[in-house]
Each structure stands twice: as structure tokens, then as C-alpha cells.
Chains A and B, each alone.
Chain A
Amino acid sequence: MVGEELVGGPFLDADGMKALGAALAITVTGLASAWAEKEIGTAAIGAMAENEGLFGKGLILTVIPETIVIFGLVVALLINSA
């Protein structure tokens, strides 16, 4: 069978590729979220030091980039369940 020969040898098989893809989706988006949240979080803490009432706004702004990794997680789930 041609297909099996193609993915054999040094290459991963289809399941391995799927797992790798899912892992990449989580890793890269996780790093991206972390990076964005770091920048916003430090600014938010700075603002809160000036005015504690800004906690709510700071919290909201900080969790906004969380969407990136959530999308990554959704993509990983889709890859795995497909």
C-alpha cells in the first residue's frame, strides 16, 4: 500500500501527526496568550497600584487574550475528534 509506505520509516504515522498538530496548537497559542497577558498584566498591576478601584477593569483586560489559547484548545479538540 502506497499510503502506508509514505508515512512509515522516519516519519510519524497519521495519529502521531494529529497529536503533534494538537500539541502545536496548544503550545503556540498558550505562549501567545502568556505573552499578551504578561504585557497587560504588568500594566494593570501598575494601574492598580495607583488606584485600587481599577481591579475589575484590569482583570477584564488581562483575561481578554485568554481567547487565543482557548481557540487553540478548541482546534486541538477538533483535530483529536476528527
Chain B
Amino acid sequence: MSRPKEMTRAVIVGHKSILKETIDSLHDTNLFHVEDFVEDESGFKISKPLKNAEEVSKKLVKIRSIANYLGIVKKEPVVQKTDSVLRDLDSKLNELDRAIATKTESIAQLENELKDLDSQKRELLPYLSINLDFDDYRGYESLKVFAGMVKGNLDGSQISSITKAYELYFDPQSKTTVLFVAKSDADKVYELLQGLGFRELRVPERGGVPSELLRFIEQKEAEVTRKIESLRNEIESLKTKYADFILASDEILTIESQKAELPLRIATSANAFIIEGWTPTEDYDKVVSAVNSATNGKAYVTSLEVEEEEEEHVPVEYNNSKIAAPMQQIMDLYSRPKYTELDPSSVILITFPLMYGLILGDIGYALILGAIALAVKKAMKSDAVGALMNILIYCQISTFIFGIIYGEFLGFSLASLHTEHGSVPGLIPGWETIVLFEGLGGEEFTFPIHRTHMVMTMIAVTVLIGLLQLNLGFLLGFANISRHHGMKHAVLEKGSWLVIELGVLLAAIGYLNGTGLAYVGAVILVLGIVMLTMGEGIKGPIELPSLMGNALSYARIIAVGLSSIYIASTVNDIAFEMIWADHSKIGFVAIAAILVFILGHALNTVLSIIAPGLHALRLQYVEFFGKFYEGGGRKYNPFGYIRKYTEE
């Protein structure tokens, strides 16, 4: 059980001439959480950004847009020296910018050309079947040319009724029509054509035979496409060449712009500045010495007293061992603890994998998922993924242990099973089920536990486990409250629940045995309810039934677990029935059976992360945390940057 790191409130005061050095030293230590200054009556004002801010942010925008354009992704860092990157920054940035600009411009030009060629091609296509030089369409004084499409069929007989002087080209497939007639007959012919649904086509302006023109255009298209392709390749090679530079300079510029913009968050007068903020108490001396050495002791650093009302708003930094640290992800998903609260990370380090293991409890799935988690952790170097995989590994260790207790492997029973209808041998010969004691409803409590055959007992067991965790929650709440509001509040608000449970327990035992203990229990129960009402007001007794709901909610441990077993054993049944049904020859059916087996278990493996994970998580968040945890703490976010691609 840990508390968040103890924090110290610190104030740094100095002359404006040393502001830059102070900011640099704070940024480098990466330990100081700067508190934003809010302008008030004091006469201090928010300052302006440092002089280089505008330039830096301009460059940052440029480099990010380039990175975005090139599609640069974060990768295995190649660490570079800051000064060497800075030295080349301007020239390289300009070079890169120019190179990309010219290349994108030419690409845009070529793409336009391509579009142009395409439209030319479109214009040309209808004339392809006629194959008449386009120059023949123009330059007549007494001839009229109709070029277009008709809906129906057109032949010479229709036109010859109007005039004999004509020349018709018609392609019955594409319905393209080219008709030469004397100008004097043009109007009548046009009427006829309109009757056939004539639609005029543009005649391409250039001369030449369509088929040759088409070949020419297609050649040109191929050429332009090739050019675009090579430009794209050049851009791609720019990407590989400059990726390290872009990542490094992005980092440097980000750092610079963070530094340059800090004055917007602090208080300044005409000549002085004040930076207020938080640092972990253990690191306070480091901050002081860093600031002093950077400013030759000209800045004044001091710590301030934290008043009790303020404690709620202190930024929170976890204080966990390396083993419990991954659980912080689960905490953050819900809400960071307040500074005044206990941090339950180390408790859920036990309870979360415990619940997960209780639900899944299968050696096979534990091995599969454990291997997957290890592989993913190895392949992805990201911190967040690593933490999640660590949680998954913790869960699989617990699943493995419960897998042995349940004697299950991929839905198969490892130990023999004795029922009224006889006994079924398990997967491991010689592993006999041992009856330990009598369970509920005529069931026997055995080792290994056959969950499918002792449902009643397991429901009772899981609810009991739930009650244990709920009471742990009450105890933690008790510790929290007694620390901040005194013992009396703690006893009334959280202790009363324990009294109520004791009362119910005694009353139940008394009722079952028919002794006077029932009355004692009832009195204690009433006493507990009175205490609860005193502690939490009318809201307390209203919440009483929720205790039963919460405890019963833990029955999901067995319910979700059974659903997983049923899916697994159904897959096994189907696969093995397929194999046994046709054992004369091993062929298609056997392969299909193996496929069913693999796919079925793959599906169940995925479900085995989601269902037990979500339900185990919910038991922590809703049932367990509801008893003591508030959350809503502010994240400790130190002013600084964790360098990956550069070093000083």
C-alpha cells in the first residue's frame, strides 16, 4: 500500500536577466511542475514569450508539416548531438523544403498534364471506329459536317430521301455518326438527325488519324506516369535520408518552443519574475542546486508551506515499486488518486490478476496468452504497451496457477471426473480427483475443482471471495478517512459497514441454529445502521441493498468462467467428433477438424482477454473502488522533455 510521492511547493524568484538560464535549468532537470499564474491584483503580469519563440514555432510548423507530408513515423532512435543538428538546421530545413516544394510542384503539373491527356483521350475514343483524319472535318465552304451520336440506327436510305449528295460514316456499335452534306440541305438533315436523338460531339482540334493519335496519347501518358513515379521515389528517398534529421530537429524545436513559451505561464513585473510550482520532496534539493548553478546563485529558490485545504489540488506522482508500476495504467484509466488518498496500485496488483485467474483458470490459455504477451512486449518497445503486456503477464501467471487448481487445459479436464453416471478419465492418466469435503447442494468439493460440476458451491465461494475484497475496501476507506477526518468519522462511515455485516452474519447463524444469537445479531445490525446513518446521513441506509448486489456481482467469476469452458469444450467436441466419425482414412475431415480446433481456440483466446479482463477490471472499479476510492487527482507533469533522438 503506497501513498503518492510527497510533494514540495517551491517558488523561484529572480531578475528578468537570468530568466532564460532559470528556464533552461528547470527544463533540463525535468522535475518541476510549473503552476500556471493567474493574473490578480498583485500587479504581476503574465510575461511575453522569449524572443526566439516566433522563429522556433515557425520552424516547428514547417518541420512538422514536412514530417507529416513524408509520413515519418517514430522509430528506433538514432541519438544525435544537439549542437550539430542545430548548426545544420536552417540550411537543411531550407534544402528539404525547397526539394519537396519543387518536387510536389512538378508532380502537380504532371498530374494536370495526365488529366489533360485523359480528357483528350476521351474526346478521341468515339471517333476510333471511323478513323478519319480530323483535318478532314474542317475547312469546307459548301459542306456541313455533323459529328455526334445517335440513339437508333442510321443508314444511307434515310438520308437519301432528302439528298443524294452526302457521305455517311456510321459505327453501329458505338452509334458514332459522321455525316457530310451540302450546306443547302443541312437544316433538313439536322431535323432528321434530331428525330434520331442526335447529340453533337466535339471534334478534336488537332489533326491526325484517331488511332495514331490514341497511340501517341497513350505513349505520352505512360511517360508522364513514369515521371510522376520517379518523383515519388525521389521523395521517398528524401524520407529515408532525412528521417533522422527530422525526428531530431522536431525534438530540439519542441524543447526550444516549450522553453520559449514558459513565460506565458509565470508572473513577472517590470524587472523580476516568479515561477511557482511543485516538485517531489525527494528531488527538491536537485532543483535548487540546478537553478543555483545555472544562475550563479542569483535566483532565489524557497519552499512554501502547504495548507490542508490546498492538499487536494497538489499534483500527484505515483510512488510504486517497479513491479506494481504497470498497474498505474489501470489506475489512470479510472482516475488518478488524489494527493490525500491511498494509491491502490499495489493492492490491485494482487486482486486484479487474482480475479482474472479465477475467471479464466486454464493452463493452455495461460501459456498461449503469456507467450503472446511476451512476444508483443519484445516487438513493441513503447512504454504504454510494455506496461499493458506486463499486466497481461501477471494475469497469465495467476491463470496458470488456477489452471492447475481447476485441472483444465484448453477446456479439457486434466484429472479424472467422477459423476453419478460413472467416472471419466482425464487427459493426464493417473491424476485422480480427490474429494476434500462436502459442498453445497449435494456437491462435493474436490481437488482439482471441476467447475462445471460444482456450480452451487463455486457461486458461494466466489461471493465469499467478493465479500473479502469488499471488506478490504472498507478497511482501506477506514484508513483513508481516519487519517484525514479522524477516527470518529472513519468508524461511522466505514466501520459501520463491518458492524452491519457482523450483525447479518450472527443473525443468520442464530436463525439457522434456532438460538438466541439471532436477536443479538439483529441488535448489532440495527446499531450498525444507526452508525451508518450518523456517518453518511440518509444516503447510507439507502445504499444498504447495494452491498448484497455488490457481493452477488462476484458470482460473475464462476459464470464468465463457465461460459469460457463451454465454448472451449464445444470446440473440442466438434473437432474430435469430426475425427472419430471418419477414422477409416485420414484426409479432408481430419484437416477440417484441425482447422475447427485451431480457429475455435483462437476465437476463445481472444475472448479470454476481453471477457475475463473486462469483468475482473469491473470488479475492481465498480465493486472494490466504490468502497473507498475517490480519485480525480491532478497529474504531476514536470516542465521538461524526455529526449529520445538527441543529446546535449
Is A67's CB within 8 Å of the partner chain B? yes
Is A47's CB within 8 Å of the partner chain B? no
Query: Within the assembled complex, what's the spacing in Å between the Cα atoms of A57 and B441?
Result: 40
Mostly, the B contact residues are: helix
A residues in contact with B614, CB < 8 Å: 59, 63, 66
Cross-interface CB contact of A77 among B553, B559, B615, B617, cutoff 8 Å = B559
Min CB distance B551 to A, Å, is 12
Min CB distance A61 to B, Å, is 10
B residues in contact with A81, CB < 8 Å: 441, 443, 455-456
Interface string of A34-73 (1 = CB under 8 A from B): 0000000000000000000001110110011011001101
Of B53-61, B119-127, B249-257, B329-337, the one with at least 4 CB within 8 A of chain A: B329-337
Is B48's CB within 8 Å of the partner chain A? no
A residues in contact with B325, CB < 8 Å: none
B618–A73 CB distance below 8 A: no
Is A1's CB within 8 Å of the partner chain B? no
A residues in contact with B549, CB < 8 Å: 67
B560–A82 CB distance below 8 A: no
Min CB distance B570 to A, Å, is 16
Query: Within the assembled complex, what's the spacing in Å between the Cα atoms of A74 and B557?
Result: 10
B residues in contact with A57, CB < 8 Å: 334-335
- Complex: chain B residue closest to A69, CB-CB: B559
Within 8 A of A (CB), among B577-634: 614-615, 617-618, 621-622
A residues in contact with B617, CB < 8 Å: 59, 63
Query: Within the assembled complex, what's the spacing in Å between the Cα atoms of A67 and B550?
Result: 10
B456–A67 CB distance below 8 A: no
Is B219's CB within 8 Å of the partner chain A? no
Is B287's CB within 8 Å of the partner chain A? no
Is B555's CB within 8 Å of the partner chain A? yes
Given contacts A70-B555, A73-B563, A77-B562, contact A63 B332 (CB under 8 A): no
Min CB distance A19 to B, Å, is 15
Query: Within the assembled complex, what's the spacing in Å between the Cα atoms of A63 and B560?
Result: 14
Q: Which 9 A-B pairs have the closest CB atoms?
A: A56-B333, A70-B556, A73-B559, A81-B455, A77-B455, A74-B555, A60-B621, A63-B618, A70-B559
- Sampled A-B contacts (18; CB under 8 Å): A56-B334, A60-B621, A63-B617, A64-B622, A66-B615, A67-B556, A70-B555, A70-B556, A70-B559, A70-B615, A71-B552, A74-B552, A74-B555, A74-B558, A77-B558, A77-B562, A78-B455, A81-B441
Other A-B contacts than A59-B614, A71-B552, 10 sampled, CB-CB below 8 A, are: A56-B333, A57-B335, A73-B559, A74-B552, A74-B558, A74-B559, A77-B455, A77-B562, A80-B455, A81-B443
